[in-house]
Amino acid sequence: MAEPRDRRYTRTHEWVLVDGEHATVGITNFAQEQLGDVVFVELPQVGAPLGQGDSLGNIESVKAVSEVFAPVAGEVIEVNENLQDEPDLMNRDPYGDGFLVRMKVAAGAADDLLDVDAYEALVAEEGAH
- What tens digit of pLDDT does each residue of 39-74 get? 999 999 999 999 999 999 999 999 999 999 999 999
What is the domain count for the chain? 1
> pTM here?
0.94
- SS3 label, residue 105: coil
Asked if the structure places residue 119 within a domain, the reply is no
pLDDT grade for 127, boundaries at 50, 70 and 90:
confident
Question: Has residue 60 been placed in a domain?
Answer: yes
Domain assignment present for 111: no
- Within a domain: 113: no
Read off the amino acid at residue 11. Answer: R
CATH of the domain at 56: 2.40.50.100
Residue range of the domain that includes 61: 8-106
Domain membership flag for residue 114:
no
In tens, the pLDDT along 12-41 reads 999 999 999 999 999 999 999 999 999 999
User: Considering the domain boundaries, does residue 42 fall inside one?
Assistant: yes
Name the nearest CA neighbour of 37 among 8, 64, 11, 71: 64
Look at residue 120 and tell me if it is in a domain.
no
Q: Which are the contacts of 59, defined by CB distance < 8 A and separation ≥ 6?
A: 27, 35, 38, 40, 41, 42, 65, 66, 68, 87, 90
**pLDDT score for 129:** 59
Domain-embedded: residue 116: no
